[in-house]
């Protein structure tokens, strides 16, 4: 018989205790975990509160730089010469774009992007941070704005931004004075204050825009922008206003600038007009010019090369950098030196038969008139521009005294005008020739220097500054363009004239001798400008003509046969003047390249500025002549 299986008895008390112990251990573990969580929360919320609050705010808030408004530029009468116009631009934020090349390709399908747009963008891409807004195309049309807005969801990281863009309403009329702004390049990026330009893409490149960049640019501002979890801006929490650029007022009289530009007609050349009592530049024209606005948008390489390679050199600032023979405009200054040193006097007379020879030399130096001017004293020598008289004077005076008076009037040195790029010209001397030509100085060098030929060179701004000093009877001022500046909402600050070392003579009557002779240049029938300047003007004017000879003539009378010479080989013509003589309001220097229109150009400008009722509206003769051909 099989035995029955015995079953074990359960110990309920033991099982209850086991369960209780396990529950207690679980409870203790839970309490420890809860305690750890409470401690951790307390640690993060209390002890590390400042750190994580800062990090959270940093994630939610961006500090976005705001470009300051660039200062405006006005003429002396408040006419706006450089302004800021509102435009819509297409900007790219590179770090938000997954495939930049594909984005550019797709954008090109809905908005016309030129090769220059893309090229300029890629240049800027290398110079900015990936989270900067970089312009791809400026000045979107309303249609382009509408098309992109419809398709914006397809282009993350591409936005339309409203911005102010520089604009020059008068085009090329003030191009060499104002210069232009352009996109910041790599070299400039290393030279500027990158914090202050963190929101800026443009900087002054030439002219006033460059010289006064610091004043015009202003100081950058900032916005605290709250973002959502995806980084998209939600709202502006706080704005730290920047400081706008200063508005600049120039000494330029835009009406006179237009008149000078019109008077030059189709001639290449330069006009500089200065207010003698202050040194303020009233007009500064270099022709031809260029439209500075094309540089703001970003000029293509081809268009830039076309401007550079043009025979007319529109990018070349002739007023500031053009080096021209001083020609016979040098003679009034040499006459002053001759009088002041006692080498000559107003009554000393020579007989001019049209020929001059150096001792022990067979070379003949001609007067510009074949048979000479007969008996000539100093005043008449200035009036008729007698070369022979000044050849004789130079041999007595010597090159050192000639250089001395020219240097005292500012030749051979920078005038100091508030523009970059000015050239100093050349006052030729034995030391200069030895250094630059490697040869000695000969007596013939002195002879040709006395009529402003050879190595004697000056810029139109120097010519104007020197004749302004002559008008002031020796008082010199530095030429300048900044009349004053004003921060919006603040007081206007004028620029004061800057006096320079005056030209002093032993006897002030010598000023009258030379200036009276210069009046006869225009007013006497024998004067070199009499027939061209004409009659009927209501003001007094003192002047001097000059011819910068470029072609070698067969005889002294070839002056009237320039039409047979190729245009680019024809002589330059110069004219310096000031008026009215007793109380000068304007000093003028004009250079017309390969053209004999300098005197007529001056007449038109002076008629305009001094208000000659009979001739203020007359058209310059050079324009009348060209209009009929």
Mean pLDDT of 494-513: 96
For residue 356, the cross-strand partners are 365
Q: pLDDT category, 9, cuts 50, 70, 90?
A: low
- On whether both 230 and 307 belong to a single domain, the answer is no
Tokens of 250: 């120039």
Same domain, 368 and 479: yes
Annotated active-site residue in 328, 429, 465, 595: 328
As a residue count, the chain comes to: 629
Question: Which tens digits make up the pLDDT trace of 511-528?
Answer: 999 999 999 999 999 999
Q: Which residue has the higher pLDDT, 55 or 433?
A: 433
Instruction: Indicate if the pLDDT at residue 550 is higher than 70.
Output: no
How does the average pLDDT of the chain come out, rounded?
87
Find out whether 74 and 247 touch, Cβ atoms under 8 Å: yes
Beta bridge partners of 159: 91
Answering whether pTM is above 0.95, one says no
598: domain range? 254-291+299-485+493-627
pLDDT of residue 614: 39
Same domain? 117 vs 262 = no
Q: Does residue 39 belong to any structural domain of this protein?
A: no
The residues pairing with 477 across neighbouring beta strands, listed in sequence order, are 499
Contact between 535 and 601 (Cβ < 8 Å): no
**Residue 6, domain member (yes or no):** no
CA-based Rg of the chain, rounded to a whole angstrom? 38
Q: Look at the chain and report how many structural domains it folds into.
A: 2
pLDDT score of 617: 46
Same-domain status, 236 and 258: no
Structure tokens at 116: 């220059």
Percentage of the residues of the chain whose pLDDT score is greater than 70: 89
- Looking at the structure, tell me whether residues 578 and 564 fall in a common domain: yes
Do 475 and 363 lie in a common domain? yes
The answer for residues whose C-beta is within 8 angstroms of residue 432's C-beta and 6 or more apart is 426, 455
Of 234, 250, 266, the last residue of a domain is 250
Which residue in 281, 371, 293 sits closest to 319, CA to CA? 281
At 556 the pLDDT is: 43
Q: What is the pLDDT of residues 62-117, one digit of tens each?
A: 777 888 999 999 999 999 999 999 988 888 888 788 888 888 888 888 888 888 88
User: Looking at the structure, do residues 400 and 261 belong to the same domain, yes or no?
Assistant: yes
Asked if residue 437 belongs to a domain, the reply is yes
Does residue 4 lie within any of the structural domains?
A: no
Share of the chain above pLDDT 90, in %: 57
Does 546 reside within a domain?
yes
Q: What is the pLDDT of residue 232?
A: 62
Which of 600, 606, 589 lies closest to 622 in space, CA to CA?
Answer: 600
Given this model, what pLDDT does residue 552 score?
52
Same domain, yes or no: 81 and 165: yes
In sequence order, what are the beta bridge partners of 544? 576
Backbone angles phi, psi at 181, to 5 degrees: -105, 150
Q: Is the domain of 202 the same as that of 264? A: no
Q: Is residue 30 part of a domain?
A: no
- Strands of the sheet containing 61-66, edge to edge, are 61-66, 221-227, 233-240
Looking at residue 449, which CATH number applies to its domain? 3.40.710.10
Residues 11-43: pLDDT tens digits?
Answer: 777 777 778 888 888 888 888 888 888 887 777
Task: Give pLDDT tens digits for 457-499.
Answer: 999 999 999 999 999 999 999 999 999 999 988 999 999 999 9
Q: Is residue 37 part of a domain?
A: no
Strand 364-366, strand 457-458: pairing: unpaired
Is there a single domain that holds both residue 525 and residue 378?
Answer: yes
How large is the average pLDDT for residues 117-139? 78
322 with 270: CB under 8 angstroms? Answer: yes
Let me know: does 188 contact 203? Beta carbons within 8 Å. yes
Q: How far apart are CA 74 and CA 483, in angstroms?
A: 10
Examine the domain organization and report whether 272 and 327 are in the same domain.
yes
Distance CA(329)–CA(587), nearest Å, equals 14
Task: Output the domain CATH number for residue 172.
Answer: 3.90.1310.10
Count of other CB atoms within 10 angstroms of residue 336: 22
Same domain membership, residue 574 and residue 522: yes
How would residue 626 be classed by pLDDT, with cut points 50, 70 and 90? very low
Looking at the domain assignment, is residue 3 inside a domain? Answer: no
- 200 catalytic? Reply is no
Give the three-class secondary structure for 81.
strand
């Amino acid at each position: 018989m099989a035995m029955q299986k015995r079953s074990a008895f359960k110990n309920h008390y033991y099982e209850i205790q086991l369960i209780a112990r396990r529950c207690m251990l679980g409870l203790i573990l839970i309490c420890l975990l809860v305690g750890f969580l409470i401690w951790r929360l307390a640690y993060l919320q209390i002890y590390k509160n400042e750190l994580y609050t800062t990090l959270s705010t940093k994630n939610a808030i961006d500090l976005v730089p705001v470009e300051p408004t660039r200062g405006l530029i006005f003429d002396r009468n408040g006419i706006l010469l450089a302004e800021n116009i509102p435009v819509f631009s297409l900007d790219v934020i590179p770090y938000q774009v997954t495939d930049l090349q594909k984005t550019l390709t797709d954008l090109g399908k809905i908005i016309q992007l030129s090769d220059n747009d893309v090229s300029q963008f890629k240049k800027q891409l290398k110079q900015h941070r990936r989270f900067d807004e970089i312009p791809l195309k400026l000045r979107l049309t309303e249609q382009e704005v509408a098309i992109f807005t419809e398709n914006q969801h397809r282009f993350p990281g591409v936005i339309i931004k409203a911005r102010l863009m520089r604009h020059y309403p008068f085009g090329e009329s003030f191009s060499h004075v104002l210069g232009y702004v352009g996109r910041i390049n790599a070299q400039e990026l290393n030279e500027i204050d990158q914090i202050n330009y963190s929101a800026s893409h443009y900087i002054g490149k030439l002219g006033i825009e460059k010289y006064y960049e610091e004043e015009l640019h202003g100081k950058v501002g900032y916005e605290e922008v709250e973002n959502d979890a995806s980084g998209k801006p939600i709202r502006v929490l706080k704005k730290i206003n920047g400081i706008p650029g200063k508005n600049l007022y120039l000494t330029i009289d835009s009406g006179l600038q237009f008149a000078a530009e019109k008077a030059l007609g189709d001639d290449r050349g330069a006009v500089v007009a200065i207010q003698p009592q202050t040194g303020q530049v009233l007009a500064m024209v270099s022709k031809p010019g260029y439209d500075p606005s094309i540089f703001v948008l970003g000029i293509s390489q081809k268009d830039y090369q076309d401007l550079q390679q043009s025979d007319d050199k529109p990018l070349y600032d002739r007023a500031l950098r053009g080096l021209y023979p001083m020609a016979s405009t040098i003679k009034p200054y040499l006459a002053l030196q001759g009088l002041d040193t006692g080498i000559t006097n107003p009554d000393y007379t020579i007989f001019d038969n049209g020929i001059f020879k150096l001792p022990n030399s067979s070379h003949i130096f001609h007067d510009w008139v074949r048979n000479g001017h007969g008996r000539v004293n100093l005043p008449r020598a200035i009036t008729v521009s007698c070369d022979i008289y000044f050849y004789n004077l130079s041999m007595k005076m010597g090159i050192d005294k000639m250089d001395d008076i020219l240097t005292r009037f500012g030749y051979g040195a920078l005038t100091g005008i508030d523009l970059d790029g000015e050239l100093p010209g050349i006052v030729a001397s034995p030391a200069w020739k030895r250094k630059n030509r490697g040869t000695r100085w000969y007596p013939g060098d002195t002879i040709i220097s006395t009529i402003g030929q050879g190595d004697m060179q000056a810029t139109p701004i120097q010519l104007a500054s020197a004749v302004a000093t002559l008008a002031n009877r020796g008082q010199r001022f530095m030429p300048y363009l900044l009349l004053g500046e004003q921060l919006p909402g603040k007081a206007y600050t004028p620029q004061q004239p800057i006096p320079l070392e005056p030209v002093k003579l032993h006897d002030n009557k010598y000023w009258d001798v030379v200036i009276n002779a210069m009046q006869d240049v225009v007013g006497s029938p024998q004067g070199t400008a009499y027939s061209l300047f004409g009659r009927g003007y209501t003001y007094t004017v003192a002047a001097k003509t000059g011819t910068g000879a470029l072609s070698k003539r067969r005889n002294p009378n070839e002056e009237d046969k320039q039409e047979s010479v190729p245009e680019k080989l024809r002589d330059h013509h110069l004219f310096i003047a000031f008026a009215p003589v007793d109380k000068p309001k304007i000093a003028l220097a004009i250079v017309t390249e390969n053209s004999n229109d300098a005197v007529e150009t001056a007449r038109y400008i002076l008629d305009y500025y001094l208000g000659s009722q009979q001739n203020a509206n007359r058209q310059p003769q050079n324009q009348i002549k060209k209009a009929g051909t």
